[in-house]
Amino acid sequence: MKITKAIIPAAGLGTRVLPASKAVPKEMLNIVDKPAIQYLVEECAAAGITDILIITNRGKGVIEDHFDYAYELEQNLLKHPEKHALYEAAHNVADLANIYYIRQKETKGLGHAILAAERFVGNEPFAILYGDDVIISESRPVIGQLIDAYEKYGKCVTGVKECTTEQVMKYCTLDVTPLEDCIYDVHRVIEKPDRDEILSHFAILGRNVVTPDVFELIRNTAPSPKTGEVYFSEALSFLAESGNLLAVDFDGKRYDMGSKLGIMQANVEVALKHPEIGAEFGEYIKKIAEKL
Ligand code: UTP
């Protein structure tokens, strides 16, 4: 079945980037001139996804405003022919996809947030993009790379990259065997492993394509005794243990917009390639680097 639906969980507290995320959702923090979540919606649209459910919570209404028309602003820009490109940049965001919203009423973890999407998804396979993981690809959008693997093998797919030991211990580790270039069979997933539990340096970085069976698996997942959160990786581990999970080592650069370092890395790298400011910013960075 063709994949046309995606969900973007964006209801986390964003404590790692406080105080920036106190009144502005971390998914709305910018990379040069666009908020992080716009990169995700553009990635979905470029991969053929037409319907996106964004899972929000209290205080995140500004996400809805961003994907709506801004009538007064746009009318004003339209009066000035030299501002037409700006009008298009502001206006077209609202037409990238059909966007729906639902609130996760309590912040009980990523798995719990995904459960809120059950009625939206119905009986169709769907994509999941974590709201603070921006992945920029020079080739096919990363969620499209996962959809290709899903369509070829008919199994759920998670997006992975090799990470450092420290990152793996913060994210998760996967037991894998190679299937074909960049695609692996996954046998097990462990969330936040101790050093001696590490199965490989592949960790899941913010992209999945799954079937609706996943909701039952999430419901069967007990909250973590340490944090009280329902981890989504447990449901992925159930899928892996039943032979129904592949990993795609995707082609793309991922930025963790939920961390201060990730935000800065994203801004520097995107700015260096930006058609308007790239050259000047490059000169500036070179000068700064001389003094390091
Ligand atoms: P994170 O673990 O990075 O989110 O979740 P967080 O809780 O905001 O992070 P910190 O530790 O407090 O800084 C990854 C994604 O899952 C969403 C987040 O919004 C983020 O996009 N999420 C997380 C939810 O939607 N609901 C939750 O209960 C937790």
- Looking at residue 59, its pLDDT comes to 85
- Looking at residue 226, its pLDDT comes to 85
Q: Whose CA is nearest to atom 1 of ligand 1?
A: 12
280 CA distance to ligand 1 centroid (A)?
35
Give, for all 292 residues of the chain, the pLDDT tens digit. 789 999 999 999 999 999 999 999 999 999 999 999 999 999 999 999 999 999 999 888 999 999 999 999 999 999 999 999 999 999 999 999 999 999 999 999 999 999 999 999 999 999 999 999 999 999 999 999 999 999 999 999 999 999 999 999 999 999 999 999 999 999 999 989 999 999 999 999 999 999 999 999 999 999 998 889 999 999 999 999 999 999 999 999 999 999 999 999 999 999 999 999 999 999 999 999 999 9
Q: Whose CA is nearest to atom 16 of ligand 1?
A: 110
Q: Whose CA is nearest to atom 23 of ligand 1?
A: 12
- Looking at residue 256, its pLDDT comes to 96
Q: Whose CA is nearest to atom 25 of ligand 1?
A: 11
CA gap 149, 159 in Å, rounded? 10
Q: Whose CA is nearest to atom 21 of ligand 1?
A: 131
96: exposed, middle or buried (C-beta count within 10 Å: 0-12, 13-18, 19+)?
middle
Pairing of strands 245-249, 156-162: parallel
Q: Whose CA is nearest to atom 27 of ligand 1?
A: 109
- The helix (run of H) or strand (run of E) holding residue 156 is strand 156-162
Looking at the CA of residue 16, tell me the nearest atom of ligand 1.
13
CA distances from 236 to 20, 70, 77, 212, 281 (A): 32, 39, 47, 12, 41
14 lines ligand 1 (CB under 6 A): yes
Pairing of strands 183-191, 133-136: unpaired
Are the beta carbons of 128 and 218 closer than 8 angstroms?
no
CA gap 256, 251 in Å, rounded? 16
36 lines ligand 1 (CB under 6 A): no
- DSSP-based three-state secondary structure for 177: strand
Q: Select from 40, 130, 135, 263 the residue to mutate for testing ligand 1; criterion: most ligand atoms less than 8 Å from CB.
A: 130
CA gap 286, 278 in Å, rounded? 12
Q: Select from 114, 132, 133, 171 the residue to mutate for testing ligand 1; criterion: most ligand atoms less than 8 Å from CB.
A: 132
The letter for the amino acid at 110 is L
- Looking at residue 162, its pLDDT comes to 96
Q: Which of 26, 228, 236 is nearest to 108 (CA)?
A: 228
pTM, rounded to two decimals: 0.96
10 lines ligand 1 (CB under 6 A): yes
- Looking at residue 287, its pLDDT comes to 96
224 lines ligand 1 (CB under 6 A): no
193 CA distance to ligand 1 centroid (A)?
18
Using the structure block, give the residue that is written with the tokens 């990152």.
167
